[in-house]
């Protein structure tokens, strides 16, 4: 089954990576008003990215390696900025998110196809009515 709006979903995936990089390297990080909230944020961000990219039919184990490497690289970059800090626990949160995302992607491999079908149907109906 082919994604009808594949290009859009790929653009969304790359926007997600860009947003992750921006939020990870900005001088003023987003504050989550919960104890260790930033760790939950790391886990959630990497979970969402991994499951989204896996839905694009990219080998999820390659994604695991790539996103874990990205998380490690970002932590080192944060340590070099002078205004952010390097944190091993952030890397753990990133990795947990990646692994959960990869596992869930294996359980729901057609999630994006369902979303794609809904949006494709709605856009097709919209343009037919014009």
Q: What's the pTM value of the predicted model, to 2 decimals? A: 0.83
Contact status, residue 1 vs residue 110, Cβ threshold 8 Å: yes
**Would you state the structure tokens that stand for residue 67, as one six-digit string?**
């996103």
Query: What pLDDT, in 10s, does the model give residues 32-91?
Result: 788 877 889 999 999 999 999 998 888 889 999 999 999 999 999 999 999 998 999 999
Query: What pLDDT, in 10s, does the model give residues 99-130?
Result: 999 999 989 878 887 888 887 766 666 556 65
Residue 51's CB: how many other CB atoms inside 10 A? 24
Per-residue pLDDT at 125: 62
């Amino acid at each position: 089954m082919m994604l009808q709006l594949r290009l859009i979903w790929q653009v969304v995936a790359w926007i997600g990576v860009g947003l992750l990089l921006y939020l990870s390297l900005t001088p003023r990080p987003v504050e989550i008003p919960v104890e260790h909230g930033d760790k939950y944020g790391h886990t959630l961000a990497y979970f969402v990215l991994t499951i989204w990219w896996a839905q694009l039919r990219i080998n999820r184990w390659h994604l695991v390696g790539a996103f874990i490497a990205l998380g490690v690289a970002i932590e080192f970059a944060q340590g070099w900025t002078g205004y952010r800090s390097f944190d091993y626990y952030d890397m753990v949160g990133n990795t947990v998110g990646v692994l959960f995302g990869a596992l869930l992607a294996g359980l729901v491999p057609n999630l994006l196809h369902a979303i794609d079908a809904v949006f494709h149907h709605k856009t097709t109906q919209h343009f037919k009515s014009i």
